[in-house]
Amino acid sequence: MELKTAVVTGASSGIGLAIAEMLTEEGYKVYGIGRIFPDGCDFFEKRISLDLRDTDILLEKISGIKKVDLLVNAAGSAYYGLAEFNTPDQIKEMCRTDIEAPMILISALLPKLKDSKGMVINIASVTSTRINTHGAAYGALKAGLRSYGRSLYEEVRKTGVRVVTVCPDLTAGTKLYRNANFKPSEEDGCYLVPGDTAECVRDIINMREGAVVTEVEVRPQFNRIEKKRT
């Protein structure tokens, strides 16, 4: 039996890496797209090292993948703080990583996903569902990705393609807060780990054919952050 094929962005760290590893356990051939892959992750069918904002290179690299059953858009970029202090370069990076790249990949791979009656999973954020002071731009872009997923599902559902938006909350062990002055609290129950979202994705891909959860939030029991020590 031919193995299913998945394309995962953000696959070199955090949630994307955890999802990629889980998919190999589920019998997928995984093409991972990321920047610098850590040692020891030799489970990928292929590791594609690039910057998602290099559109021509991105499209060239994925063009050789003959069959796609699953696309996971897990890459993300975030800058926090008051909106007046977001620089043009920060805004451009977030726009291109958080919503432009997923839309470009979906557009490019949809014919193959229709052929396989496959699935798109967009990793958004709980910020897509609420007001975000000190994170207005990031929240707006994730809300855009969530809206795009909702509309896309209605557009392609008759072809058999499923579209799911997963919205994780504060997650330790990712690089998303590298530009922030805070991090998830280290108290028990105050943070997710990348494997939590990966396990949620496992449940989603194993649902009975004909049923689909189009949107889900993954949250820690408590909601606390702490300032980084300088």
Task: For residue range 42-82, list pLDDT tens digits in order.
Answer: 999 999 999 999 999 999 999 999 999 999 999 999 999 99
Tell me the pLDDT tens digit for each residue of 78-122. Answer: 999 999 999 999 999 999 999 999 999 999 999 999 999 999 999
Tell me the pLDDT tens digit for each residue of 9-33. Answer: 999 999 999 999 999 999 999 999 9
- The token pair at 196 is 């939590």
CB 177 within 8 A of CB 127: no
For residue 58, give the DSSP letter.
Answer: H
Strands 4-9 vs 70-73: parallel, antiparallel or unpaired: parallel
**Within a 10 A sphere around the Cβ of 74, how many other Cβ atoms?**
30
For the chain, domains (ranges, CATH) are 4-227 (3.40.50.720)
- The token pair at 76 is 């993300």
pLDDT of residue 226: 84
pLDDT of residue 146 exceeding 80, the answer is: yes
Q: How many Cα neighbours within 13 Å face the side chain of 105? A: 34
pLDDT band at 173 (very low <50, low <70, confident <90, very high): confident
pLDDT of residue 40: 85
Residues making up the chain, counted from first to last: 230
Give percent above pLDDT 90 in the chain. Answer: 86
pLDDT band at 213 (very low <50, low <70, confident <90, very high): very high
In the chain, DSSP assigns E strands to 4-9, 28-34, 46-49, 70-73, 119-123, 162-168, 182-184, 215-218, 225-227
- The token pair at 61 is 């690299």
> Can you tell me the distance from the alpha carbon of 46 to that of 193, in angstroms, rounded to the nearest whole number?
25
pLDDT of residue 1: 62
pTM above 0.85, yes or no: yes
pLDDT of residue 230: 62
